[in-house]
Amino acid sequence: MVNTKVTLSGIELDNPVIPASGTFGFGYEFAEIYDINELGTFSFKGTTKDPRFGNPTPRIAECTAGMINSVGLQNPGVEKVIEEELPKLAKCFRKKVMANVSGFSIDEYAYTCEKLDKEDQVGWLEVNVSCPNVHNGGMSFGTSTEAVKDVVKAVKSVTTKPVYMKLSPNVTDIVSIAKACEDAGADGISMINTLLGMRIDLKTKKPVVANKMGGFSGSAILPVAVRMVYQVYEAVKIPIIGMGGITTAEDVIEMMLAGATAVQVGAANLIDPFASKNIIDDLPRVMKKYGIEKLTDIIGGAH
């Protein structure tokens, strides 16, 4: 029998597969088609202090081996998430969930994290300083070592649960950003968020998405994600949740060899709602194929 269990900041997961924020709603939608308790956990829809309608449409553009999205953090706001979404989730998910938080100021990050930190069902806070789809928010904090330190310190001062900083690949040196997070007290790193991409419609001769640019995700970005996880693993001692282009159990193994303790599956969920479940189901076969008895034995194994 192979052992797929991993531990993230003291919380044991049955397996390392975590649907990524923005691709799995608040979970209960997927619970209608399969038992989501099979997941390691999942990261729920990015939540901000106030409700957000999101960006104008169209918000999606197809690409070869991927997609561009510019949803713009549409969500009902943290109060509604706590009052309405989490109670619905509690009826179908018995594990700790990852709360994904975005903000437009340090005070907003701290406010939202402090609220969600008090919720028993929340196991980790995933602080998104890397959203490329909103103006003057999200990614602007994740491209500066000083700004990201300020966010970490503010969030850690008002929370008790593990804080994972979700980093942008749209930087010159992601290692220095990750080191700044660790130095400021972050408990872990989530990486990478989407690359900044664009498509142009040949008929209209204009950008396909209304926001002009958006987050490029899908299997095409896996090599970039693996490279960045590999680099950051060599620089920090805190755990890494690796993501970016994961579509198969083999991809999970590759990301863990690069240095990830767990992985997130994003765009694949939008193509096939069973994607995360299928990867979990196939993990034991792939582990046996490559002679892996325990997944914890291979974390950073490529170094």
Active site residues: 131
- 233's CB contacts (< 8 A; 6+ apart) are 240, 258, 259, 260, 300, 303
What token pair was written down for 227?
Answer: 């490279």
Decide: 100 and 264 in contact? Cβ < 8 Å.
no
Pairwise CA distance, residues 58 & 100, whole Å? 24
Q: Please tell me the chain's helix, strand, coil percentages from 3-state DSSP, rounded to the nearest 5.
A: 35, 20, 45
β-pairing, 122-128 vs 97-101, is: parallel
Residue with tokens 């975005």: 102
Decide: 174 and 228 in contact? Cβ < 8 Å.
yes
Decide: 186 and 209 in contact? Cβ < 8 Å.
no
Helix axes 249-258, 222-233, angle to 10 degrees: 30
Beta bridge partners of 265: 19
Decide: 75 and 46 in contact? Cβ < 8 Å.
yes
